[in-house]
Amino acid sequence: MPDLREIIGTRNVIARGYDVVDQDIIWSLLRSGIPALAEVLKALLEEAPAFED
């Protein structure tokens, strides 16, 4: 499971400009992290109760 605190922390650095953002590092994080995060989200959605209209 992806480290949610790390994901949020990375988002905060990017959004708030705490440091100079290295585009190569961000690209690497996206390429390696998004597939794993997508799998976790897919599993969570499958476990979630269905919404009724």
> Does residue 52 sit within a domain?
no
Q: How many domains does the chain have?
A: 1
> Does residue 27 sit within a domain?
yes
pTM above 0.85, yes or no: no
Taking CA atoms, 15 is separated from 2, 30, 43, in Å, by: 20, 15, 28
Q: State residue 1's pLDDT score.
A: 63
pLDDT tens digits for range 8-50: 888 888 888 766 778 888 888 888 888 888 888 899 889 888 8
Q: State residue 18's pLDDT score.
A: 65
Domain limits at 40? 4-47
**pLDDT above 70 for 5:** yes
Q: State residue 23's pLDDT score.
A: 82
Q: State residue 2's pLDDT score.
A: 66
